[in-house]
Chain A
Amino acid sequence: MRDRLSRALPLLCVLAILIAVWFAGSVAMNWDQAQDLADEDATWSDIAQATLALDRPLLPTPDQVASEMIRSMFGYPPTSPRSLVFHAGVTAWAAIVGFGIALLAGMALAIGIVHVRTLDRALMPWLIASQAVPVLAIAPMVVVVLGNVGLTGVLPKALIAGWLSFFPVTTGLVKGLRSSDPMQRDLMRTYSATEAQVFAKLRWPAAMSFLFPSMKVAAPLALVGAIVAELPTGAQAGLGARLLTGSYYGQTPQIWAALFMAAFLAMLAVALVDLTQALAAYTRGGRL
């Protein structure tokens, strides 16, 4: 109890400070707009109050964002394109499909790299170098080109999400598949185990403790990829579309609500990976 309190108290204090700063920032940033809208004889406190309740504030207050989130999440049925849940679902689906593609492709490539020396020497340096390249820049082109070939909907977005999250999965798995103790590999040899058996009984279990951390990096990346891929399609659906329409029409509460929704999805994704990790550990007797 004491331990939990000593961890929660600093966090709560910092959160309280952040919210206070946010309110103060709202007053300061919305001041000019509120002053323009106010009557001639408005007092300072009238204007200050008005800054917290503008329709299109430069910085909406925390409670404005919260009420916009509640309104757009629960005010409409989840299938309506006006519902935030609908847009979050569209983006999450693209991210999940992309993450699945990334996992499969990353596993295939990592297994190839670990077992085929030529692949390791020829491809691995490029994989590492690709970390320094802003791959997200290709998103608009991929979406437009695939749209031209007739591929629309979830697939172009999923491909970008997958492309982005593929690198951490691959490099993490390559490290993991190589992490088994050479002694144990020698032991497997003395058992005259085949390459497939060594993989299934030694390499793969040893790679698990590397796979989950890289999945935790990759999952939010898939989300970023899906959101950015929604920008060039002319903003039809998804959180990226909400950001874009919000910025076109100056609907700041809508932008902030979409942003918080994206943050929530990212947290959810990381929590899901944690859960899978716990399940995997449980099925294997409590340790990875």
Chain B
Amino acid sequence: MTTLLLLGSLLTGGLVLALLARDDRPVFRIATPVVFGMLVLWLWQIVCTGYEVPLVLLPPPSAIAAAVVDHLPTLAADFRQTVLRAVIPGWAIGSGAGLLAAIALDASPFLRRGVLPLGSLVSAMPIVGIAPIMVMWFGFDWQSKAAVVVVMTFFPMLVNAAAGLGVTGAMEADLMRTYAAGYRQTLLKLRLPSALPFVFNALKLNATLALIGAIVAEFFGTPIVGMGFRISTQAARLNLDVVWAEIVMAALAGSISFALLALLERVVTFWHPSYH
């Protein structure tokens, strides 16, 4: 019975998707992935309930949705601890410091040649590993998580912003010279604005990195609240529906902040060729 339902859903779903994908109109371009996502959820649901997959292996989407509703106060407390206290301040401080450092480096070619290779080296490294050190230095609470996030977000911003400050061409720089603009004016009116796409790139990248940093840092010790704490302890107790509920929250937090940043980027860098 389940097998029949499964095969039937696969077949109809595949057919509908193939039909939708043929059309190039914007509505269909959005509808196709949405239908695909719903199909995946539906297949997941009937496989879990139909074959009676044990809850400790893979809870069905309905159980996860129920867990989100049931544990809403816990989820909200974890969200407050991890996202509002650690991720957002850490992300803002780390990205801000990276941007300021890039501007400071910009003034000295000597330092730039010394720091930038190190910066790109460090941004390719497993920085989450500093989490135990930060927990030791700043204690179990959100401060240590924010510190991990600061370090993780600093280097991508430094490297990207430095690259962005280097993109202005000789023509624009010459034009600023004919305006008799000083270093400060050139920086503020020409080079910083043209570096903005790079800065936004780093901000979006950092949004995900910051969430990962805070969640992983909580695996090394927390007060008894926080998304990473909940995920690791409830996974050990096999309460997988709660774990999935936390993952849904983390995914929502990540994609919403990413979308907001993309929206802001569109508004602020409306002049960029990629929006024409």
Contact = CB atoms under 8 A, between A and B. Distances in A.
Interface stretch (A118-126, A186-194, A196-204): A118-126
B114 A14 contact: yes
Contacts of B246: 137
B8 interface: no
Given A133-B255, A263-B125, A121 B33 contact: yes
B33 A134 contact: no
Q: Interface size class for chain A?
A: 35 or more
Contacts of B128: 136, 224, 227-228
B111 to A, nearest CB: 7
A37 interface: no
A117 interface: yes
A132 B209 CA distance: 9
Majority SS at the chain B contact face = helix
A78 B126 CA distance: 23
Contact of A11 (B118, B130, B204, B251): B118
B92 interface: no
A134 B238 contact: no
Given A145-B56, A266-B126, A132 B247 contact: no
Interface string B215-257: 1100111000001100110011010100110110011001101
A239 B132 CA distance: 13
A286 interface: no
A122 B17 contact: yes
Interface in A1-31: 6-7, 10-15, 29
A117 B124 contact: no
Nearest to A225: B126
A169 interface: no
Contact of B124 (A132, A250, A258, A270): A270
Contacts of B208: 131-134
Contact of A121 (B14, B20, B220): B20
A26 B219 CA distance: 26
Nearest to A246: B132
Nearest to A132: B258
Contacts of B192: none
B32 interface: yes
For A29, A133, A217, which residue has the most chain B Cβ atoms within 10 angstroms?
Answer: A133
Contact of B36 (A15, A123, A143): A123
B29 interface: yes
A129 B258 CA distance: 9
A267 interface: yes
A232 B129 contact: no
For A12, A29, A121, A217, which residue has the most chain B Cβ atoms within 10 angstroms?
Answer: A121
Contacts of A217: 124
Q: Interface size class for chain B?
A: 35 or more
B132 A133 contact: no
A6 B113 CA distance: 9
Majority SS at the chain A contact face = helix
A231 to B, nearest CB: 5
Contact of B33 (A125, A216, A246): A125
Contact of A137 (B14, B17, B240, B250): B250
Interface in B185-201: none
Contacts of A267: 121, 124-125
A255 interface: yes
A156 interface: no
B170 to A, nearest CB: 22
A279 interface: no
B88 interface: no
Interface in A100-148: 117-118, 120-126, 129, 131-134, 136-138, 140-141, 143-145, 148
Contacts of B243: 140-141
B21 A117 contact: yes
A126 B132 contact: no
Interface in B29-66: 29, 32-33, 35-37, 56-58
Contacts of B22: 117
Given A134-B211, A246-B132, A144 B235 contact: yes
Contact of B216 (A118, A228, A255): A228
Nearest to B57: A145
25 contacts: A12-B114, A58-B136, A122-B17, A122-B21, A122-B36, A126-B37, A129-B255, A132-B254, A134-B211, A136-B212, A136-B215, A137-B211, A137-B228, A143-B235, A144-B238, A223-B126, A224-B126, A227-B129, A243-B132, A244-B132, A246-B132, A252-B133, A259-B130, A266-B124, A267-B125
Given A118-B17, A252-B136, 4 more contacts: A58-B136, A132-B204, A137-B247, A148-B57
